[in-house]
Chain A
Amino acid sequence: GAGVSQSPSNKVTEKGKDVELRCDPISGHTALYWYRQSLGQGLEFLIYFQGNSAPDKSGLPSDRFSAERTGGSVSTLTIQRTQQEDSAVYLCASSTTGKNNQPQHFGDGTRLSIL
């Protein structure tokens, strides 16, 4: 079946511009996660959505970062007034529920480059 889909796969933009990154989770998965992976680094948790519960935003690095999930499916991560340090691969994952012990399945990410 279809996996987690992310778009665009690559995004190049100028410093100061806003960007929107999209994630389509696996159908039926109620939990959705965003992570950031800087060059040669591990994955850093950003935000987590589970059903209709309030999202866990504890990993967002600044108030320039926000995310929403409409209709319990598609999610958009928005970065306002981008900075060069925002350059990274942004990865989305989904799981069947948000409980511990549920495997998270990742998309291939959006590679964001800020000039």
Chain B
Amino acid sequence: GENVEQHPSTLSVQEGDSAVIKCTYSDSASNYFPWYKQELGKGPQLIIDIRSNVGEKKDQRIAVTLNKTAKHFSLHITETQPEDSAVYFCAASITRGKLQFGAGTQVVVTP
């Protein structure tokens, strides 16, 4: 089955700097890659997603890139702010919408 690996597990950045989280997947049939942000005590919140027919997508300070050949995708957060501190999860869609999640990245933005 699908396996998603996510790195790093923790990421500490200074406010204003950029943060990059990387994920790799194993199943070349995967075609949908969402990213979720989870704050303490809350459910995951979808922040951006990308489909396999697109190489890059941007939404304000957040961007996602996808390399289908290498089977990896990355989340880029620019001009980080303290409110960006959270756990971020990548995921890949295997079949019929079922998602396989990475283990998560704890992002800490220090003022």
**A42 contacts B89, C-beta separation under 8 Å:** yes
In the complex, what residues of B have CB within 8 A of residue A50's CB?
Answer: 96-97
**B96 contacts A103, C-beta separation under 8 Å:** no
Does any Cβ of A come within 8 Å of B74's Cβ?
no
Q: How many residues of B contact A (CB 8 A)?
A: 26
B59 to chain A, nearest CB (A): 13
Does any Cβ of B come within 8 Å of A41's Cβ?
yes
**B100 contacts A101, C-beta separation under 8 Å:** no
One of A12-20, A63-71, A73-81, A91-99 at the interface: A91-99
Does any Cβ of A come within 8 Å of B44's Cβ?
yes
In the complex, what residues of A have CB within 8 A of residue B43's CB?
Answer: 4, 91, 106-109
**A103 contacts B49, C-beta separation under 8 Å:** yes
Given the known inter-chain contacts A103-B34, A103-B46, please indicate yes or no for A43 contacting B97, CB distance below 8 A: no
Which 4 residue pairs spanning A and B have beta carbons closest together? A106-B43, A42-B101, A43-B101, A108-B43
6 additional A-B pairs beyond A43-B44, A43-B101, A108-B41, beta carbons within 8 Å, are A45-B99, A48-B98, A98-B97, A104-B97, A106-B36, A108-B43
* A interface residue numbers (CB < 8 A to B): 4, 31, 33, 35, 40-45, 48, 50, 56, 59, 91, 95, 97-109
What are 5 of the A-B contact pairs (CB < 8 Å)?
Answer: A40-B104, A42-B103, A101-B31, A101-B51, A103-B46
